[in-house]
C-alpha cells in the first residue's frame, strides 16, 4: 500500500472515532449540540461580518 492510501485510511478511522464520541456527547448533553452549532455557524458568520465591516465600514 502506498503512503497516501495509509494516510487516507488513518484519517478516515480517526474521523469516524471522533464522530462517534461527538454523537454520544450530543445525545447525553443537548447543550453540547448547541455549542457545536455556535462554533460551526456563529464563529464563521461573525468573522465574515468582521471582514465586511473592515471593507465597508458599517459600524
Alpha-carbon span 8 to 20, nearest angstrom: 18
Read off the pTM.
Answer: 0.52
Grouped pLDDT means (10 residues each) for the chain, 59 residues: 84 92 89 88 92 83
b/e burial code for range 43-53 (CB count within 10 A of at least 16 → b): eeeeeeeeeee
Residue 57 has a pLDDT of: 80
Amino acid at each position: 500500500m502506498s503512503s497516501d492510501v495509509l494516510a487516507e485510511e488513518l484519517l478516515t478511522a480517526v474521523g469516524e472515532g471522533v464522530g462517534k464520541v461527538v454523537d454520544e456527547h450530543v445525545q447525553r448533553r443537548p447543550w453540547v449540540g448547541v455549542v457545536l452549532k455556535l462554533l460551526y455557524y456563529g464563529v464563521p458568520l461573525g468573522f465574515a461580518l468582521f471582514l465586511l465591516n473592515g471593507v465597508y465600514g458599517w459600524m
